[in-house]
Amino acid sequence: YAAKRDKSGVAVYDARLHERGASQLTAVTELRHAIDRGELFLHYQPKALADTGAVCGVEALARWQHPTRGLVRPDEFIPVAEENGLIEPLTRYVIDAALRQCRVWSDAGWEVPVSVNVGAACLLHTEFPGDVADLIKRHGLPARLLTLEITESAIISDPDRAVEVLRGLTELGVRLSIDDFGTGYSSISYLRSMRVHEMKLDRSFVTHMCTDAGDSAIVHALVALARNFGLQAVAEGVEDQDTWTALAEAGCDVVQGYFLSEPLPAEEVVAWLGDRAAAHA
C-alpha cells in the first residue's frame, strides 16, 4: 500500500491504512519468515538465590532483529504470534535454541538451568509434551535443567485440557513455573490440581515493595501462599539492594531483576558467571 512521505523523506502512513488490516498482515508474514529463517534470538537473564546470592539459572527472553525496524521487543511480537497461530512454532524454536545453548554451557563445565516462556496456546495442545520430550532428547540434557514458565490465562481458558498437558510435562521431569503470578483474572484454586514447582511474583508488585505498603502486603501474602503449596517463590523486577533484602526477609527463595543483571547475550553469560563466581570466592 502507498505511503506518503513527509519533508524528511520518512514514510508516514495514513492512519486508516495503519489500522489492523494491512500492517497486521505484514507483521504476521514477517514474523513467520523470522521464525523460519532464524532471525529470532535469545537473551538470558540470570536468577540468584535470595539468601546466598548464588546463581541458580537463567531465563531465555526472545528478541527479534528486524531488517528495517531494528530490535523488536517481545511485548510487540508475542501477541502477534499468539493471535495468528505462530506461537507454537515460535515456542518450539525458543525451547530448541535455549536447550542448544544450555548444552554449550554444559559442555564448557557450567550447569545452567534455563527457563523458557511458553505461549498460552501450547498448553491446549496435547502433542506439546511429546514435542518437548523430543527436543530434550535431541540435545541430550537432563529434563530437570528445563523450566517452562506458563501464565494463569493459559490455564483459565480450558482448565481440564491445560491440566492434562501440564501433567504430561511434569512426567517428563521438566519444572513448571507460573509467571506473572497474581496479575491474571484467575482463581488460585487451580493450584490444588496442578503440580507446578515455582511461582513467579509479578514485577508490578515487587519493584516498589519497599516504598508501597500495599505492594509489600501482596508480596508477603504471595510468598506465604507459595510456601504453603510447597512452591519455590521467585521475585522478578528486583531493581535495588533494599528490595532484595526485603524479599530475603520475607522468605522469597529466588530473585531476578536489573539489580542482579539485565538479560545478556548468550556469549556474555559465561564471562558474567565467571566474574560472579570470582567475586563470591
Considering the complex, what minimum distance in angstroms separates the CB of residue 124 from Mg ion? 19
Considering the complex, what minimum distance in angstroms separates the CB of residue 236 from Mg ion? 5
Question: Does 30 interact with Mg ion (rule: CB under 5 A)?
Answer: no
Question: Does 149 interact with Mg ion (rule: CB under 5 A)?
Answer: yes
- Specify the DSSP class assigned to residue 9: S
Over the window 108 to 127, marking each residue x when it contacts Mg ion by CB under 5 A and - when it does not, the resulting string is ---------x----------
Considering the complex, what minimum distance in angstroms separates the CB of residue 234 from ligand C2E? 10
Q: Which residue is nearest to ligand C2E (CB)?
A: 257
Of the ranges 70-78, 198-206, 220-228, 271-279, which one interacts with Mg ion (CB under 5 A)?
198-206
Pairwise CA distance, residues 276 & 281, whole Å: 9
Rounded to whole angstroms, what are the CA distances from 136 to 88, 132, 159, 173, 234?
16, 6, 26, 10, 24
Question: Does 253 interact with Mg ion (rule: CB under 5 A)?
Answer: no
Pairwise CA distance, residues 23 & 37, whole Å: 21
Cβ distance 35 to 65 under 8 Å? no
> In terms of CB distance, is 93 or 105 closer to ligand C2E?
93
> In terms of CB distance, is 60 or 136 closer to Mg ion?
60
Helix segments in 58-180, DSSP class H: 74-83, 87-107, 128-139, 152-157, 159-172
Pairwise CA distance, residues 79 & 174, whole Å: 25
Considering the complex, what minimum distance in angstroms separates the CB of residue 257 from ligand C2E? 3
- Which residues contribute to the site for ligand C2E (CB under 6 A)? 45, 61-62, 73-75, 78, 91, 94, 117-119, 149, 179-180, 203, 236-239, 257-258, 263
Measured N-to-C along each axis, helices 87-107 and 266-280 cross at an angle, to the nearest 10 degrees, of: 50
- Specify the DSSP class assigned to residue 257: S
Applying CB under 5 A, which residues contact Mg ion?
117, 149, 179-180, 202, 236
